[in-house]
Amino acid sequence: MDQGKIIEHFHQGDCLNAYQLFGAHVVKENTAGVRFTVYAPHARNVSVIGSFNNWDTEAARMERTGFTGVWSVFVPGVKQWDTYKYHIEDRNGNPLDKADPYAFYSETRPGTASKVYDLNEIHWADRNWMKKRSKNFDRPVSIYEVYAGGWKMNGEFTFSYDMLREQLIPYVKEHGFTHIEMMPLNEYPFDGSWGYQASGYYSVTSRYGNPAEFAAFVNECHKQGIGVIMDMVPVHFVKDAFGLRQFDGEPLYEYKKFEDAESEWGTMNFDLWSEEVRSFLISAAAFWLDVYHIDGIRIDAVSNLIYWGGNRDRGTNEGSLNFIKRMNYFLNKEYPDVMLIAEDSSDFPKVTGSTLDGGLGFDYKWDLGWMNDTLKYYATDPLFRFYDHNKITFSMAYFYSERFLMPLSHDENVHGKKTIIDRMWGTYEQKFSQVRNLYAYMFAHPGKKLNFMGNEIASFREFDEKKELDWFLLEYPAHDAFLRYFTDLNKIYSSHGCLYKHDYDGKGFRWIDADNAAQSVYTFYREDEKEYLVCLMNLTSAQYEDFRVAVPQAGTYTEILNSEKDIYNGCNMCNFEPVKSVTLKNPDGRRTEEIRIRVAPFAAIWLTCPKKHTRHTAASEDRKGK
């Protein structure tokens, strides 16, 4: 480690490895102990207090490193698990006791001290996974979003990292998910913030175990072929006195102006114009990728990074935008196989554009417009869906402007919004029919997929961080059948390249009929080099014995998914035999192909046909002509 180089880049705002200098680092050679290093440029004096010196403010005085604002001291005899804080005298001599901003581990709430932890104790066995992983643009991605403290509980207590390793990973694999996205696992004081109000950006939360146990969870995910995505919040941090606020007696991590520093969440906004704050956050992101082998980072509340306070009327925050571009540029350069995901509710352009071309540099952006339009549509009485027909078709009008990811996340299961199934129009049975239809649409639509835990069992109760999922629901046939349906969707999705290979290049999707508002029926197809997959969605209670569907080529079409199949608790009005297309002659002399199929009320149907490579079909010639 070149200390001078790290400090230089730290002050330049482009440091990816500040954690290799700052924090508490165990030294084992010669005299064993710990070197503590902290950034506190406005402090008069700084010392390390802890369990190893009886919290004596004079026992471990730190020394300034030149004029850099960096303080450091080596304390012999300090061991793993020892607790500590920094005792800071501000420029006026007022005392402050602060947790280490770069702590690798922390006391469990309500304790607020940092803990010494040697990251060299972590060992890995995931070399094959790390060699093969990618940003997954042309691979299947079905993400299971998890709040670690509320998936399952052990009596009254939350699961540990070890329990999640033993039970969550097999569950995710069994039901066909490709990735787990963990809601923030950085340290945080208030359970009700779900980790989005962080106090320790380098400290894996002690609620569920220690760093080695969390690393073992990630290691096992990789061994089982599951990627791990972490939520990160570079917008704001907690106000608590032990944390970053007024760290050395003056604003250091937050904006100096009160109106800029105070956030809408009752927290403090990071000063993203500060080079040192930029290095702190960029290094924090790199830390999880380097130390814990995380496969993706999802950045929360990106609209609040784009605009001052998330308010378009206040204009763009140019310092914050420069931070985002810089962070993504360096992360993409250093970790080219890691997914960078933006949760952004704005229509700011080029969020997933290259930073070299003026974009923000993310790989994916949550399609919150699709989510809002779709859920509003499915909540509407079918008698009136005619008027909202474009809510389903509109997403494809803008889809290729960004690399969109389709989310039905925790945000759609809280605060009185109702859960996904409970938003569906109609009776109990009709809600199930329509939520099956919704998910067939979601998985056939271009874009990677994300679902919050509980979506897959059709949970009716909103997310509550104090309770586990309602697993008892699986004792009821409708919920048990829905989990089977969701599992089949995941597995069919992952086994058909046409559903994911061309998500973002425009080659893989075509509307067959986007304008059938009179019947509220939508038809489109996905394709790759091997097959066509035709999707039909019936969004009313009408049923059809002989529904005509134009198809992209002559051939035999086999139904591989019907949301009304009896094993999914449906009415079983399916197409049990393969359907052969018929050729139609049009008045203009063109030849087209169509099939005729049975369509149940609220049914979603997928039919596949292998591509013919020996000759061009009339339908493909027609598309080329257009």
Active site residue 156: no
The answer to whether the CB of 500 falls within 8 A of the CB of 138 is yes
State the pLDDT confidence band at 404, using cuts at 50, 70 and 90: very high
State the pLDDT confidence band at 618, using cuts at 50, 70 and 90: very low
Mean pLDDT value across residues 15-36: 94
Closest-CA residue to 306 (of 357, 252, 354, 344): 344
Quick one: pLDDT at residue 616? Answer: 44
Quick one: pLDDT at residue 28? Answer: 86
pLDDT at residue 394 greater than cutoff 60: yes
Distance CA 4, CA 11 (A): 11
State the pLDDT confidence band at 625, using cuts at 50, 70 and 90: very low
Decide yes or no: CATH 2.60.40.10 for domain 3-121. Answer: yes
What pTM does this model have?
Answer: 0.94
State the pLDDT confidence band at 571, using cuts at 50, 70 and 90: very high
Q: What percent of the chain has pLDDT over 70?
A: 98
CA-CA distances (angstroms) from residue 184 to 230, 330, 403, 429, 604? 6, 22, 23, 36, 35
State the pLDDT confidence band at 364, using cuts at 50, 70 and 90: very high
Whether 148-499 and 3-121 are alike in CATH topology: the answer is: no
Q: How far is CA 228 from the centre of its chain?
A: 9
Which three-class secondary structure string do you get for 339-364? EEEECCCCCCCCCCCCHHHCCCCCCE
pLDDT at residue 620 greater than cutoff 60: no
The answer to whether the CB of 221 falls within 8 A of the CB of 227 is yes
Distance CA 340, CA 229 (A): 9
Q: Which residue has the higher pLDDT, 585 or 551?
A: 551
State the pLDDT confidence band at 412, using cuts at 50, 70 and 90: confident
Q: What percent of the chain has pLDDT over 90?
A: 91
Structure-token pair, residue 352: 């997933």
pLDDT at residue 621 greater than cutoff 50: no
The architecture in CATH of the region 510-625 reads Sandwich (2.60)
Quick one: pLDDT at residue 626? Answer: 38
pLDDT at residue 360 greater than cutoff 70: yes
Quick one: pLDDT at residue 591? Answer: 87
CA-CA distances (angstroms) from residue 397 to 113, 291, 401, 514? 52, 41, 9, 11
Quick one: pLDDT at residue 203? Answer: 97
Mean pLDDT value across residues 363-387: 97
Catalytic position from the list 89, 295, 300, 503? 300
Closest-CA residue to 305 (of 365, 375, 235, 217): 235
What are the φ and ψ backbone dihedral angles of 543, each rounded to 5 degrees? Answer: -125, 155
pLDDT at residue 125 greater than cutoff 50: yes
Question: Tokens 């002509």 — which residue?
Answer: 625
Closest-CA residue to 366 (of 343, 336, 347): 343
pLDDT digits (tens, 9 = 90+) for 495-523: 999 999 999 998 999 999 999 999 999 99
Q: Residue 596 is which amino acid?
A: R
Q: Where are the domains of the chain?
A: 3-121, 148-499, 510-625
Quick one: pLDDT at residue 384? Answer: 96
* Residues contacting residue 328 through CB under 8 Å, at least 6 positions apart: 340, 355, 360, 361, 362
Distance CA 626, CA 622 (A): 6
State the pLDDT confidence band at 3, using cuts at 50, 70 and 90: confident
Distance CA 143, CA 500 (A): 14
> Domain 148-499 belongs to what topology?
TIM Barrel (3.20.20)
> What is the rounded average pLDDT for all residues in the chain?
95
Q: Residue 194 is which amino acid?
A: W
Distance CA 303, CA 282 (A): 18
pLDDT digits (tens, 9 = 90+) for 310-341: 999 999 999 999 999 999 999 999 999 999 99
pLDDT at residue 623 greater than cutoff 60: no
Quick one: pLDDT at residue 543? Answer: 97
pLDDT digits (tens, 9 = 90+) for 262-300: 999 999 999 999 999 999 999 999 999 999 999 999 999
Mean pLDDT value across residues 238-251: 97
CA-CA distances (angstroms) from residue 192 to 147, 150, 188, 575? 12, 12, 10, 48
State the pLDDT confidence band at 622, using cuts at 50, 70 and 90: very low
pLDDT at residue 16 greater than cutoff 90: yes
The answer to whether the CB of 19 falls within 8 A of the CB of 10 is no
Distance CA 505, CA 403 (A): 10
Active site residue 145: no
pLDDT digits (tens, 9 = 90+) for 451-493: 999 999 999 999 999 999 999 999 999 999 999 999 999 999 9
pLDDT digits (tens, 9 = 90+) for 73-96: 999 999 999 999 999 999 999 999
Q: Which residue has the higher pLDDT, 415 or 511?
A: 511
Catalytic position from the list 100, 220, 271, 343? 343
Mean pLDDT value across residues 189-202: 94
DSSP E strands in 508-621: the ranges are 509-513, 521-527, 531-538, 544-551, 556-562, 579-580, 582-585, 591-599, 604-610
Q: Which residue has the higher pLDDT, 517 or 617?
A: 517
